[in-house]
Amino acid sequence: MATYNYVEPTNSNLVCCICRAPFVDPVTTQACSHTFCRGCISEALEHSLQCPVDRLPLTPEDLTSAGPLIRSLVDELLVSCPNNDCPHVCQRDLLQGHLDACEFLIVDCPEQSCHQMVVRKDAVNGACIHSAVICSECYAEVAMSEYEAHSSTCPDSACSCEHCATEISKSTIELHGETCERAPVVCTHAPNGCSWKGERRLRDGHISSCPYEAIKGFFIIHKDTTAALKEENALLQAKIDALQGHLRATTRDLQVAKAALGPWYTNAVNRTEAGLPIHHPPRSRAPTSASLNPATSPQPPLPGPRASISTLGSDAPNPAPASVTPTHVNATPGPSNTSHDWRAHSSRPSPNISHNWDPSSLTARSIARDVVAPIDLGTSLEGSLHGLRESMVTLSTTVDSVGRRSEIALTNETVRLNEEVMSVRAHLHGLRMQVHAIMMDRNTQVTGRVDEGGGITEGAWIPTRFSQVPGQPQIPLSITKL
Amino acid sequence: MASISARRLSKELKEIMNEGCPVGITLLKAEDFVSWQFTIQVMGESLYKDEIFTLLFRFDRDYPISSPAVQFVTVDGKVSPVHPHVYSNGHICASILGSEWSPVLSVISVCVTLQSMLASCKKKERPADNDRYVRHAPDNPKKTQWHYDDDTV
């Protein structure tokens, strides 16, 4: 016996290191005391005459049977029967005894003419199980080996009704159960609540006295009504579902629209209230712009944001040029100004210009603020866009006019400055001429004096000579030496 | 009935599945009881750091009485390690695969031995007669008459 099916894992000390299975007929080497199966070590020695574990020289004569302790340990290992379907488990040394009697051992069919195999337990009665037999009930041909299975399911086999004890065939028993007089049944009004139970033959007697029988007509009507109501209910339920879906879709759309509109979105309920605080800011801003810009005429109280756009768009550009133009006229110096005035002029124009330009620029800024900011949330988005477009047009016109104005002002200023520069140049020329004349005069005097032989009084003379010239700026001393 | 080699190999395979391979060795293919493949990698500091080789085992019906044919795979882009006992065609000159084979040895023990053979290598070089051997080498390394001349590596 070469293979065993060990039921449990084996202690590794009982395993042959050549076949890795528990020892079978264990032998031990005399020299090194290693144990192997007899079959394994004999084969190994045919290949190489040395111990597989430590490679010491070894011959078959050096092997002795292992001690009884090892033999009994491996013989007592539990193995299962190798035959299919056999559940037998026993000690290894007892397996051979079991195999001799195992019912699941495959043997030849006892019938000489049959060449098939059969498990031993089916061969004990000496008959060939492969030969066909005829079912005594349904007269079908069935193999002997399948006869038992067939007879339990044969439709024609007889059985008795469990209620009336009548003998009937298996195939008709279900049919009989529906009509059997003694079969237990419930009242026909059981669905309505009657709790009567009894044999079928007694039911007719019960029904004549059944309280539910009296109101049989009501049950029919009731049933119809309930069915109609149920149907209607289902219809309504479907409608509700559809409407809920619609509502959900609409809510989603509304939220999307709300998100898209942003601050434009106001509820119909609080739209009128929301209008008030928005009307407020321009009204509070109006006085500040008026105080900053005294040149502009005080604005009338604004009736509403829409009105403020139109009033500012039309009014604001008008006062600004009015305030600018006169100052320009004042500031522009005449070309015929005397030389005495130019010093004062040099400082005057710049503050004047800044004074005149500041308010106008502020006005422009306040216009811009008032035109854009008061978006009327009371109107529709379209109306607001229209209003915004209008104010945009106004704004561009304003910017245009302001640009033109500033251009005119710049031209005026440039002309004025040019003229002033010209006059200053003329002055300067006059002065140069004067100084030249004086220098010439003095040179002639000095040369005359030097010729007389006196250079000592020169220092004292110059101041007195210069002080006699009226309206002349003090000339530094260094210039005299030129 | 299954042959002795099949029973022995099925036991070894079950052990590998249950307990796993030693570090650096992985089972690549064991679909039958004719040939198995393992990858082998030398762990720690060595000349073969980060190199992975594939070992091919071929068993005959007499396994484990006779040794398996073991060699490195040198096809499909795989190479044999450069080692004084390993030829460029993957054949290995190791006594335990020839005369020193013992039925006690197993597939895993051969892997571990070869792993330590690579790990103890001092110099990466082919055997001196590599070219001559490779030209005439048989397909199965077991058919070669090995002359083991170096016990140090």
- The winner for highest mean pLDDT among A319-328, A371-380, B29-38 is B29-38
Whether chain B has a CB inside 8 Å of the CB on A3: the answer is yes
- CB-CB contact of A64 with A85 (8 Å): no
| The predicted structure's pLDDT at residue A425 | 96
**A347-to-A173, A195, A258, A419, B37 alpha-carbon distances in Å:** 133, 122, 60, 16, 104
Query: Count of A–B CB contacts within 8 Å?
Result: 40
pLDDT band at A314 (very low <50, low <70, confident <90, very high): very low
Residues of B in contact with A46 (CB under 8 A): 65
Residue A412: pLDDT above 90? Answer: yes
Q: Indicate the average pLDDT of chain A.
A: 73
A292, A294, A300, A305 alpha-carbon torsion, rounded to 10°: -30
pLDDT in tens, A446-472: 887 655 544 444 444 444 444 444 554
Pairwise CA distance, residues A350 & A420, whole Å? 14
Taking the CA atoms of B97, B102, B106 and B112 in sequence, report the sign of the dihedral they define. Answer: negative
Q: Which residue has the higher pLDDT, A175 or A468?
A: A175
- Say whether pLDDT at A338 is over 80: no
Count of C-beta atoms within a 10 Å radius of residue B66? 18
Residue A353 pLDDT class (50, 70, 90 cuts): very low
Name the residue among A227, A223, A355 with its Cα closest to residue A295. A355
Residue B66: closest C-alpha in chain A: A47
ipTM of the complex: 0.77
CB atoms within 10 A of CB B47: 16
Kindly tell me if the per-residue pLDDT of A122 is higher than 60.
Answer: yes
Closest residue, chain B, to A5 (C-alpha): B7
Q: What is the mean pLDDT of residues A32-37?
A: 91
| Global model pTM greater than 0.80 | no
Q: Assess contact for A410 and A404: CB atoms under 8 A.
A: no
Q: Does A20 touch chain B (CB under 8 A)?
A: yes
Average pLDDT over residues A39-56: 88
Residue ranges covered by each domain of chain A: 5-80, 181-214, 247-278, 289-432
pLDDT at position A286 is 40
Question: How is residue A270 written in tokens?
Answer: 């609080």
**B104–A18 CB contact, under 8 Å:** yes
Q: Among A155-164, A469-478, B92-101, B116-125, which stretch is predicted with the lowest mean pLDDT?
A: A469-478
Do A301 and A286 form a contact (C-beta atoms < 8 A)? yes
Q: Write A177-186 long-range contacts (CB < 8 A, 24+).
A: none
How many Å lie between the alpha carbon of B9 and the closest alpha carbon of chain A?
A: 9
Q: Which two tokens stand for residue A273?
A: 């209230």
Q: How far apart are CA A136 and CA A142, in angstroms?
A: 11
Residue A44 has pLDDT above 90, yes or no: no
Report yes or no: A5 and A82 within 8 Å, Cβ to Cβ. Answer: yes
Give the separation between CA A286 and CA A108, rounded to whole angstroms. 123
Minimal CA–CA distance to B133: which of B73, B68, B88, B95?
A: B88
Tokens of A461: 């003379």
Give yes or no for a contact between A409 and A324, defined as CB atoms under 8 angstroms apart.
Answer: yes
Q: Rounded to a whole number, what is the distance in Å from the CA of A157 to chain B's nearest CA?
A: 46
Over residues B4-12, mean pLDDT? 88
CATH code: domain of residue B91: 3.10.110.10
User: Which of B114, B122, B119, B124 minimizes the C-alpha distance to B45?
Assistant: B119
When mean pLDDT is compared over A31-40, A52-61, A424-433, the highest value belongs to A424-433
Choose among A352, A331, A350, A356: nearest CA to A415: A331
Share of chain B above pLDDT 90, in %: 29
Written as six digits, the tokens of A397 are 């016109």
Domain containing B54: what range? 4-122
Beta strands of A92-222 (E only): which ranges?
A: 106-108, 117-119, 132-134, 141-143, 158-160, 167-169, 184-186, 197-199
- Lowest mean pLDDT segment, chosen from A268-272, A321-325, A416-420: A321-325
Q: What is the pLDDT of residue A138?
A: 75
pLDDT (tens digit, 9 = 90+) per residue, B46-102? 888 888 999 999 998 888 888 999 999 998 888 889 999 999 899 998 888 888 888
Does domain A5-80 fall under CATH 3.40.50.1100? My reply is no
pLDDT at residue A250, rounded to an integer: 95
Q: What residues contact residue B52 under an 8 Å CB cut-off, 6+ apart?
A: B39, B40, B41
Residues of chain B with a CB closer than 8 angstroms to some CB in chain A:
1-2, 4, 7-8, 11-12, 62, 64-66, 99-104
**Which band of pLDDT confidence, cut at 50, 70 and 90, is reported for residue A305?**
very low
- Strands A78-80 and A89-91 turn out to be antiparallel
| d(CA B47, nearest CA chain A) in Å | 31
Catalytic residues of B: 93
Which pLDDT score is estimated for A450? Answer: 56
Percentage of residues in chain A having pLDDT higher than 90: 22
Asked whether residue A307 carries a pLDDT value surpassing 60, the answer given is: no
Tell me, what's the pLDDT at A458?
46
Q: Is B137 inside any structural domain? A: no
Helices A349-372 and A305-315: crossing angle in degrees, nearest 10, is: 150
Residue B113 lies in a domain: yes
| Nearest residue of B to residue A34, measured between CA atoms | B104
Cα(A365)–Cα(A384) distance, rounded to whole angstroms?
22
CA angle A370, A373, A379 (to 5 degrees): 110
Cβ atoms within 10 Å, residue A96 = 10
Mean pLDDT lowest among A236-240, A247-251, B13-17: B13-17
A140-149: long-range contacts at Cβ-Cβ below 8 A with a sequence spacing of 24 or more? none
Q: Is the peptide bond before B64 cis (omega within 30 degrees of 0)?
A: yes
Q: What is the structure's pLDDT at A162? A: 76
Show the tokens assigned to A482.
């030129």
Q: Is residue B8 part of a domain?
A: yes
Residue A233 has pLDDT above 90, yes or no: yes
Residue A140 neighbours by CB under 8 Å, 6+ apart: A134, A150, A154
Q: Which of B19, B62, B104, B108 best tests the A interface by mutation, with the highest count of A CBs <10 A?
A: B104
B64 chain-A contacts, CB cut-off 8 A: 18-19
The share of chain A scoring above pLDDT 70, in percent, equals 66
Is residue A410 predicted with pLDDT exceeding 80? yes
pLDDT at A259 over 50: yes
Helix axes A305-315, A271-292, angle to 10 degrees: 30
pLDDT(A277) > 50: no
Mean pLDDT over A52-77 rounds to: 89
Whole-number pLDDT of residue A350: 42
